[in-house]
Amino acid sequence: MSTRTTLITGIGSLVTNDPGQGTGPLGLLTDAAVVIDGDRVAWVGPAAQAPAADERVDAEGRALLPGFVDSHAHLVFAGDRTAEFNARMSGQSYTAGGIRTTVAATRAASDAELDANLAGFVREALRQGTTTIECKSGYGLTVADEARALRIAAKHTPETTYLGAHIVAPEYAEDPAGYVDLVTGEMLDACAPHARWVDVFCEKGAFDGDQARAVLTAGIERGLTPRVHANQLTYGPGVQLAVELGAASADHCTHLTDEDVAALAGSATVATLLPGAEFSTRAEYPSGRRLLDAGAVVALSTDCNPGSSFTSSMAFCIAVAVREMGMTPDEAVWAATAGGAHALRRSDVGTIAVGSRADLLLLDAPSHVHLAYRPGVPLTAAVWRAGVREV
């Protein structure tokens, strides 16, 4: 069956993330063209040599890069935490306990409301160039509410994560061990069919190292792959546990010892940094530089959630990572695209190469550096997801 082909030509600067195709780790090409065939990239190269196609788009010198891969988001929820944010910006500190506010609102919401909220966020992210997005449960905390969160999430993305261990459910406040039993037992049984990943918030006020190990191990036994909320608010065992269990990613990585950094650098576990969380909790940023210099693979992600980081903007995360976390614009753009793909163990997204999924972001700018150079400015000119022009 023949599919429709689209030639995007006149690309001033093309980020392929394939060093075999161009210069540096971003595999940069100038005066380039890309051909989309169906949902795939079919050709990449110099504009002057581009083949003919059914349709032609002239990029007029703009930059083209892979769609953003947002590998950490919490988008199945209802309710609002404006007041909590406002109080924080007036001096109160962030604690894991605020999650309970969203749990109450999420439990009270209908399936249709949660579905519509999630669809809205996926669309909002897509308009800003995000073509792959991960989505966690974690605001239900009962067997039925966690399972429905994942059922709803799975309608919108294959990257679904079981986070029953977000905090101890309010009903189990006096019996955290009982809650861990639920999360590793009946709740896991109900959730595993709808999830690809298992996650745990390993933190003071949430789950300690032993509890986190129990949750992740149970998930692994059910065929889920681990990822961990680690070392966000305090130093702790999360990163070491993630590395030991072969987690795809350790997320936050804000408070790291030298041993934590070395463990990440010596492993396949990606360090996923979430600058929106430090921004919105007025906390100290993690050091991307330290991790990169040690040799760790770094991803950037939004952590989009109503409490600690209510942004869906990968461009914002890139700008903050460059300004505050010691990353170069090239490193930050790589982390937001190929880095996210590594964190989700995806080889079909995060690059622009023959055979990769045609997830493309055309910027209203001549270079990917503008994502950091022009903070806060909407730069999306066009977005293709799986070959379909969405924006």
What residues form the annotated binding site? 72, 74, 81, 139, 166, 229, 232, 303, 305, 307-308
User: Residue of minimal CB distance from ligand NIG?
Assistant: 307
- DSSP, residue by residue, 161-178: EEEEESS--GGGTT-HHH
- Would you list which residues are annotated within the binding site for 4-imidazolone-5-propanoate? 81, 139, 166, 232, 308
What is the DSSP code (8-state) at residue 350? S
Neighbours of 200 (CB within 10 A): 31
Residue 277 Cβ, how far from ligand NIG at the closest point, in Å?
5
Indicate which of Fe ion, ligand NIG, none lies near residue 99 (CB less than 5 to 8 Å, by partner kind).
ligand NIG
Length of the chain in residues, anyone?
391
Residue 348 Cβ, how far from ligand NIG at the closest point, in Å?
26
Indicate which of ligand NIG, Fe ion, none lies near residue 287 (CB less than 5 to 8 Å, by partner kind).
none
Q: Which is nearer to ligand NIG, 12 or 238 (CB)?
A: 238
Indicate which of Fe ion, ligand NIG, none lies near residue 195 (CB less than 5 to 8 Å, by partner kind).
none
Residue 338 Cβ, how far from Fe ion at the closest point, in Å?
21
CA distance 132 to 262: 29
Measure the N-to-C terminal CA separation of the chain; round to a whole number of Å.
26
User: Residue of minimal CB distance from Fe ion?
Assistant: 303
Residue 74 Cβ, how far from ligand NIG at the closest point, in Å?
6
Q: Which is nearer to Fe ion, 18 or 303 (CB)?
A: 303
Inter-residue contact 383 to 78 (CB < 8 Å): no
**331 sits near Fe ion (criterion: CB under 5 A):** no
Residue type, 279: F
Residue 333 Cβ, how far from ligand NIG at the closest point, in Å?
23
Local structure of 364: helix, strand or coil: coil
In Å, the largest CA–CA distance within the chain is 69
Indicate which of ligand NIG, Fe ion, none lies near residue 148 (CB less than 5 to 8 Å, by partner kind).
none
* Cα four-point dihedral sign 353, 382, 386, 42: negative
- CA separation (Å) from 217 to 222, 223, 297, 388? 9, 10, 24, 39
- Phi, psi (degrees; rounded to nearest 5) at 49: -105, 10
Q: Which is nearer to Fe ion, 65 or 241 (CB)?
A: 241
Indicate which of Fe ion, ligand NIG, none lies near residue 37 (CB less than 5 to 8 Å, by partner kind).
none
Chain residues binding ligand NIG by CB under 6 A are 74, 98-99, 102, 201, 229, 232, 277, 303, 305-309
Q: Which is nearer to ligand NIG, 97 or 295 (CB)?
A: 97
CA distance 137 to 147: 8
Q: Which is nearer to ligand NIG, 129 or 238 (CB)?
A: 238
Q: Tell which positions 277-316 bind Fe ion, by CB under 5 A.
A: 303
Q: What would the two tokens of residue 25 be?
A: 């780790």
Indicate which of ligand NIG, Fe ion, none lies near residue 184 (CB less than 5 to 8 Å, by partner kind).
none
Indicate which of Fe ion, ligand NIG, none lies near residue 232 (CB less than 5 to 8 Å, by partner kind).
ligand NIG
Exposure class string for 84-118: b at 16+ Cβ within 10 A, else e: bbeebeeeeebbbebbbbbbebbbebeeeebbebb
Q: Give the residues lining the site for Fe ion (CB under 5 A).
A: 303
